[in-house]
């Protein structure tokens, strides 16, 4: 299973509209990437390693695909639309990492 992880760094002054992200962006991604998209999880940063410290990331999203080929084939035709939606909920510069699920 391929896991596409999108990390939104928590830098001072960064804005992130979690309501828009959950109510509009994630449904957009699901609609555009289905049927290749097998699952989505979203985490909201609460703190760093020590309770009360700021989280390193405001949000982290994991998108599951059977393979990198399925991800690339589903994402490429819709990349511009998905990326164009990002400024509507954050000014953070998302980091993307592709990984292989081991468990």
Q: Which domains occur in the chain, in start order?
A: 2-100 (3.30.70.100)
**How many whole angstroms separate alpha carbon 28 and alpha carbon 22?**
10
User: How high is the pLDDT of residue 74?
Assistant: 98
- Res 32: pLDDT: 98
Read off the DSSP letter of residue 70. Answer: H
pLDDT at 103: 82
Q: What is the mean pLDDT of each run of 10 residues along the chain (103 residues)?
A: 98 96 98 98 96 96 97 98 98 97 88
pTM given for the model:
0.94
The Cα angle at residue 75 between residues 70 and 76, in degrees rounded to 5:
105
């Amino acid at each position: 299973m391929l896991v596409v992880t999108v990390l939104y760094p928590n830098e001072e002054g960064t804005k992130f509209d979690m309501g828009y992200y959950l109510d509009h962006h994630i449904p957009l991604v699901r609609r555009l990437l289905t049927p290749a998209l097998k699952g989505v999880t979203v985490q909201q940063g609460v703190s760093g390693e020590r309770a009360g410290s700021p989280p390193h990331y405001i949000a982290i999203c994991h998108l599951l695909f059977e393979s990198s080929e399925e991800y690339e084939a589903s994402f490429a035709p819709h990349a511009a639309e998905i990326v164009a939606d990002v400024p509507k909920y954050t000014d953070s510069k998302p980091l993307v990492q592709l990984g292989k699920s081991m468990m």
